[in-house]
Amino acid sequence: MGAMAVTDEAIEKIKAMIVSGQLAPGDRLPPEKELAERLGLSRNSMREAVKALEVIRVLDVRRGDGTYVTSLEPRLLLEATSFVMDMHDDESLLEIFQVRRILESQATGAAAQRATRDDIAALEEELRSVEADTDIETLVEHDLRFHGAIVELGGNHYLASLVDSLTTHTVRARVWRGLTEEHAVERTLHEHRAIVDAIASHDVELATSLATAHVAGVEQWLRRARNEV
């Protein structure tokens, strides 16, 4: 079993505790060591599972206070389960990435054509807001802001809202990649830097190509991850 499968198993075990009522909305999780032993998991895979369940808002990690089960609104739980299903059963997520690749590359090319000095300064500022050792959640928030800003710069508001609606479906895939793939954070930031440089030099073709490769990189990871399961 790959790292991803182990994490998935840990997620399923914690979800089973919630579904069976051992953990209710608003309850605090037992201490990490105790919970890992009770579920027969390594502390590492349990920690990854908690991180993943926090990102899909099933758990709420309050620093210095403990980890709690959230309100478990049906919408949030549906998001959580549909994601795991997307990952394992379904071509739909890959298809969404393919659409994103087409739209986002075009929007990035348009941004390279239109970006002003101030626009480029704002992108530079966004790049500086994250470090290579940042945690996954911060990285994904940066990723959303970064791509959102570039698509806006492309100047087509309809395209921007389309990409935005597709992006929400792919956020969790990027989270999983960050949790399971070596150097995912460094690679993402490195690719973002290259895209900004291409926009800054108004090189439309290069910006388009780099954006295409950037989205395709997540697609390739997703294909590999699904084949491992």
pLDDT of amino acid 89 = 45
State which H helix or E strand residue 24 sits in: none
Task: Classify residue 100 as exposed, middle or buried by CB count within 10 Å of its CB (0-12, 13-18, 19+).
Answer: buried
Read off the tokens for 7: 């994490």
0.85 cut: is pTM over it?
no
Q: What is the largest CA-CA distance in the chain?
A: 57
In the chain (229 residues long), the average pLDDT of successive 10-residue segments reads: 64 77 83 86 82 78 84 58 51 81 93 96 94 80 91 89 75 70 86 97 97 91 73
CA distances from 124 to 110, 119, 129, 183 (A): 18, 9, 9, 21
Task: Classify residue 205 as exposed, middle or buried by CB count within 10 Å of its CB (0-12, 13-18, 19+).
Answer: exposed
Domains, the chain, in order of start with CATH, read: 3-76 (1.10.10.10), 91-228 (1.20.120.530)
Q: What three-state secondary structure class fits 59?
A: strand
Cα-Cα end-to-end distance for the chain:
7
The HSE-up count of residue 10 (CA atoms within 13 Å, CB side) is 25
Q: What is the Cα–Cα distance from 92 to 29, expressed in whole angstroms?
A: 33
State which H helix or E strand residue 115 sits in: none
